[in-house]
């Protein structure tokens, strides 16, 4: 009996000891991992552009990597005659970015949200966001559940990769720690040159869209929009780029578009363009079905620019 | 309720242990079995409410027929036909009418149907053969069929393996010693599932979700990862089941014995999913004639058994192909042995591992077309594309090849697969580690660390066991 109790006590003790060490390591180390530094530099660079003291009203795109890769802000800027900021970041931080952009937005700004599949429909904060926030702004994780999510997710997502990157850096070199060198002044990514594209025979795969635009993600988005509107910011939604869909996928995408249009109407938000305007052939994609290369991103940008121009001409935007 | 979930580990299991601990000495056998049947029913109802009544009907009917089956062949035929009819209706009917070109009825697959049906068939056959001397009460029988650790995904337990305990005065009881031993099995199983199987599953998924884009290296790493994932996943489930069983006082049979160390395919099947292998051997292969009617009949029997064993896993041609491949390889080995040729152990291991790995493609792929495509990729028919991290290697070797990021192949995944393979071949088995008595406190310390890591990385709802769908 005594031996069993000792054994179980040691088991429980080592379990708790490991938990304490693990939590400490995550909270203390995740901030300095390569991936975290990369993401933070990208977010900081984009938000800094909106924090400039004297600036004109901007057109600001916020979304996931779809917009990060597939928008040529410079060409939109030239076409509409207003500064454009591409504040899109990789998936998982889009909602966080909407809130941060709204904080820095000013009257006259137009925030455009290309509504990627599932960007706002999953649980919030997403694993990526929880992990990011634990390093970046610990105070923003208000619920114990969010902390647990972050503690569990960070090591899986980033610590493992950080170790591999460190080994890779020490042996064969490489490893990106700052995103700034990969961005142009407007925030578009620069690495997606056509010469580095990996052409494949892409087709949009049908993804089951949600039944309605509800859930904590949409609730957060609506809250951010309300705050923005009070500051005199205008909002518009549009759709992300995707490969030519099959008949089945097209039905799914059309269903998603209907849901978004209904949601936009309810929240009095403009819909700038329809989803079918953003279908592209396989050779336009850079590495995945979400990212255009720079040979095709101007075409996509032209669609956005024309839609914005139409809205300005019709007097919907100041 | 998933074994690898907070709800199970921190609510359901402790509550069950506490109940059994408190009541084991106060209740008689029937009430204890009733208690465990109630707990197991709750466990099933967490998963599936709709098909709980099917489970009850199946238990009731089998119990009633079992009384008649003793020495009566007609009753045995009816009992087996009843069980197979349930299995066919819910698992295969849609598949076969779809093959015949009719519209499917979209019949949902009841949870655990493959396992409890086979378990009850084994009960009827053993009853007929006179291997069950003392017929259990209905409550004892219900507790045997539904015992929650093994209900959803096995191991397939024969009544004879647990009858002595179930029909004793105290069939279920908990103690500190049992908690320690069962807990060790459980923790190792949990670690295997959460840390190894789920990580390897992510590698396999990244390869198999976009089959059209696969490259040579993706196909190989994805398939190796899947072969390791299914081993860790299924053996983890069995470890947790055995652990829970031990904690509650019921010893369940083991299902795996380092199958990837097998040096021929016959040995592989003696080490892989052992309770299913034994079931197929005793209730199908031997009744078909086994090896009693000459080598060609043996070959045919092996092929039929493996084909049906494949189909048991699911209503899909990929499973039939997987079973058929194993049948062919077993038949080939049987003829090979007849000529008295033997391979050196290392060569035998390599050929067996290679074959098993290639056969996993059929098991994991969505359809036969994908299977063929992945095999072609693994054969290198489309050349070899290297990831940027290996571009230096290409330059060093002076090879001109396409270089781009790959879906599944990267240094992290390669390290993971290599580490998992090393563990499969060299690490002690769960039994060895759980029974490691030389340094009990080192064992407790290691298990505590493993448990903490598993709990930290465990994510509710994300890591369902592969065999839950069979």
Q: What is the DSSP string of A14-52?
A: HHHHHHHHHHHHHHHHGGGSHHHHHHHHHHHHHHHHHT-
Residue range A37-45: average pLDDT? Answer: 80
Q: What angle do CA A13, A15, A21 make, to 5 degrees?
A: 100
- Output A159 or B435, whichever has higher pLDDT: B435
CA-nearest residue to A196 within chain B is: B404
3-state class (DSSP) for residue A250:
helix
pLDDT at residue A172 is higher than 60: no
Residue that wins the pLDDT comparison between A302 and B214 = A302
Closest residue of chain A to B387, computed from CA coordinates:
A198
Q: What pLDDT score was predicted for residue B470?
A: 66
- When pLDDT is cut at 50, 70 and 90, the band that residue B252 belongs to is very high
In angstroms, rounded to a whole number, what is the distance separating the alpha carbons of residues B152 and B111?
7
Instruction: Give me chain B's average pLDDT, please.
Output: 87
Tell me which chain A residues have a C-beta less than 8 angstroms from the C-beta of B373. Answer: none
Beta-carbon separation of A164 and B411 below 8 A: yes
Is B326 one of the annotated active-site residues of the chain?
Answer: no
Nearest Cβ partner of B412 from A7, A164, A198?
A164
What average pLDDT does chain A have? Answer: 80
Q: Is B391 exposed, middle or buried (0-12, 13-18, 19+ CB in 10 A)?
A: middle
Q: What is the pLDDT of residue A165?
A: 53
Least confident interval from A26-35, A39-48, B11-20, B71-80: A26-35
Strands (E), B214-357: none
Residue B252 CA to residue B243 CA, distance in Å, equals: 9
Would the CB atoms of A155 and B457 count as touching at under 8 Å?
yes
Contacts of B412 in chain A (CB under 8 A): 160-161, 164
Q: How many angstroms away from the CA of A127 is the closest CA of chain B?
A: 11
- C-alpha A182/C-alpha A41 separation (Å) is 11
DSSP at B137:
P
Ranges A99-103, B101-105, B213-217, B385-389, most confident: A99-103
Identify the pLDDT of residue A134: 62
Among A15, A155, A167, the residue with its CB nearest the CB of B451 is A15
- pLDDT computed for residue B245 by the predictor: 94
Describe the crossing of helices B113-128 and B295-313 by its angle, rounded to 10 degrees.
140
- If we measure between CA atoms, which residue out of B170, B23, B463 comes closest to residue B15? B23
Task: Give the separation between CA A28 and CA A114, rounded to whole angstroms.
Answer: 35
The pLDDT score that the predictor gives to residue B324 is 93
Q: Are A305 and A314 in contact (CB under 8 A)?
A: no
Q: What was the pLDDT predicted at A151?
A: 65
> Averaged over B28-46, what is the pLDDT?
92
Please report the DSSP string for B329-395 in residue order.
HHHHHHHHHHTT----HHHHHHHHHHHHHHHHHHHHSSSHHHHHHHHHHHTTTT---B-GGGHHHHH
Lowest mean pLDDT among A112-116, B320-324, B410-414: B410-414
Rg (CA), chain B: 23
Distance separating alpha carbons of residues A40 and A30, to the nearest angstrom: 12
CB hemisphere CA count around B441 (13 angstroms)? 7
Axis crossing angle, helix A34-50 with helix A127-136, rounded to the nearest 10: 80
Task: Nearest chain A residue to B195 by CA: give it.
Answer: A156
ipTM of this complex prediction, to 2 decimal places? 0.78
What is the C-alpha separation between B122 and A213, in angstroms, rounded?
A: 51
**In this model, does residue A312 exceed pLDDT 70?**
yes
* CA separation for the pair B170, B217 (Å, rounded): 55
Instruction: Work out the pLDDT band at A176, boundaries 50, 70, 90.
Output: very low
CB pairs under 8 A between A and B: 82
Nearest CA of chain B to the CA of A150: how many Å? 10
Q: Identify the helix (H) or strand (E) that includes residue B301.
A: helix B295-313
Give tens-digit pLDDT for A101-141. Answer: 999 999 989 999 998 866 777 766 676 777 676 655 545 55
Residue B18 pLDDT: 93
Q: What percent of chain B has pLDDT over 70?
A: 97
pLDDT band at A175 (very low <50, low <70, confident <90, very high): very low
Identify the H or E element spanning A243. Answer: strand A242-243
| More confident of the two residues B269 and A3 | B269
Option in A3, A6, A14 nearest B449 (CB): A14
pTM metric for this prediction: 0.73
């Amino acid at each position: 009996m005594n031996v069993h109790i000792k054994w179980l006590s040691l088991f429980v003790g080592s379990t708790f000891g490991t938990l304490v060490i693990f939590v400490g390591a995550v909270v203390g180390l995740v901030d300095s991992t390569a991936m975290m530094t990369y993401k933070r530099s990208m977010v900081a660079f984009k938000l800094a552009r909106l924090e400039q003291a004297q600036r004109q009203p901007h057109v600001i795109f916020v979304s996931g990597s779809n917009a990060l890769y597939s928008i040529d802000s410079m060409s939109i800027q030239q076409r509409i005659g207003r500064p454009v900021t591409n504040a899109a970041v990789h998936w998982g931080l889009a909602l966080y970015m909407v809130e941060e952009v709204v904080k820095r937005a000013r009257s006259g700004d137009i925030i455009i949200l290309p509504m990627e599949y599932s960007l706002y429909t999953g649980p919030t904060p997403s694993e990526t966001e929880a992990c990011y926030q634990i390093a970046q702004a610990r105070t923003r994780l208000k619920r114990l559940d969010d902390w647990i999510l972050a503690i569990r997710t960070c090591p899986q997502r980033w610590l493992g990769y950080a170790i591999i990157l460190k080994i890779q850096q020490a042996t064969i070199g490489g490893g990106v720690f700052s995103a700034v060198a990969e961005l142009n002044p407007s925030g578009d990514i620069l690495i997606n040159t056509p010469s580095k594209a990996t052409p494949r025979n892409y087709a949009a795969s049908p993804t089951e869209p949600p039944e309605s635009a509800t859930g904590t993600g949409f609730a957060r988005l609506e809250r951010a929009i309300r705050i923005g509107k009070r500051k005199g910011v205008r909002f518009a939604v549009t759709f992300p780029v995707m490969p030519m869909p099959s008949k089945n996928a097209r039905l799914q995408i059309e269903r998603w578009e209907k849901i978004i249009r209904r949601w936009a109407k309810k929240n009095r938000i403009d819909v700038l363009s329809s989803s079918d305007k953003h279908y592209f052939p396989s050779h336009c994609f850079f590495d995945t079905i979400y990212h255009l290369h720079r040979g095709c991103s101007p075409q996509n940008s032209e669609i956005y620019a024309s839609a914005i121009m139409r809205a300005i001409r019709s007097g919907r935007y100041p | 309720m998933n074994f690898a979930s907070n709800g199970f580990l921190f609510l359901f299991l402790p509550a069950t242990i506490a109940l059994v601990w408190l009541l084991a000495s106060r209740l008689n056998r029937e009430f204890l079995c009733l208690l465990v049947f109630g707990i197991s029913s709750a466990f099933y109802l967490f998963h599936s409410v709709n098909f709980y009544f099917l489970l009850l009907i199946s238990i009731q009917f089998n119990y009633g027929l079992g009384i008649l089956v003793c020495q009566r062949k007609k009753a045995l035929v009816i009992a087996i036909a009843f069980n197979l009819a349930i299995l066919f209706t819910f698992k295969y009917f849609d598949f076969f009418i779809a093959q015949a070109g009719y519209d499917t009825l979209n019949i949902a697959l009841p949870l655990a149907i493959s396992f409890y049906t086979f378990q009850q068939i084994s009960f009827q056959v053993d009853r007929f053969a006179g291997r069950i001397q003392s017929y259990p009460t209905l409550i004892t029988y219900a507790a045997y069929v539904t015992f929650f650790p093994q209900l959803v995904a096995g191991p397939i337990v024969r009544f004879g393996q647990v009858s002595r305990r179930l029909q004793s005065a105290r069939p279920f009881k908990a103690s500190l010693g049992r908690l320690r031993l069962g807990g060790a099995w459980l923790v190792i199983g949990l670690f295997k599932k959460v840390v190894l199987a789920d990580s390897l599953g992510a590698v396999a998924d990244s390869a198999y979700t976009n089959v059209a884009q696969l490259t040579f290296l993706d196909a190989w790493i994805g398939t190796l990862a899947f072969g390791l994932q299914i081993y860790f996943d299924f053996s983890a489930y069995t470890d947790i089941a055995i652990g829970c069983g031990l904690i509650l006082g019921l010893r369940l049979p083991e299902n795996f014995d380092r199958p990837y160390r097998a040096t021929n395919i016959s040995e592989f099947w003696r080490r892989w999913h052992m309770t299913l292998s034994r079931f197929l051997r005793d209730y199908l292969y031997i009744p078909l004639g086994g090896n009693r009617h000459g080598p060609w009949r043996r070959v045919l029997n092996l092929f039929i058994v493996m084909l049906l064993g494949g189909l048991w896993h699911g209503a899909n041609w990929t499973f039939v192909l997987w079973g058929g491949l194993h049948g062919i390889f077993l038949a080939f080995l049987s003829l090979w042995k007849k000529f008295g040729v033997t391979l050196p152990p290392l060569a035998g291991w390599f050929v067996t591992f290679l074959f098993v790995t290639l056969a996993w493609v059929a098991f994991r792929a969505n359809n036969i077309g994908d299977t063929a495509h992945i095999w072609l990729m693994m054969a290198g028919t489309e050349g070899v594309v290297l990831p940027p991290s290996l571009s230096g290697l290409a330059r060093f070797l002076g090879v001109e090849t396409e270089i781009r990021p790959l879906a599944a192949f990267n240094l992290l995944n390669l390290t993971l697969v290599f580490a998992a393979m090393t563990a499969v071949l060299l690490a002690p088995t769960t039994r060895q580690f759980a029974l490691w008595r030389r340094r009990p406190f080192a064992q407790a310390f290691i298990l505590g660390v493993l448990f903490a890591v598993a709990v930290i990385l465990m994510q509710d709802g994300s890591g369902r066991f592969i065999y839950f769908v069979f």
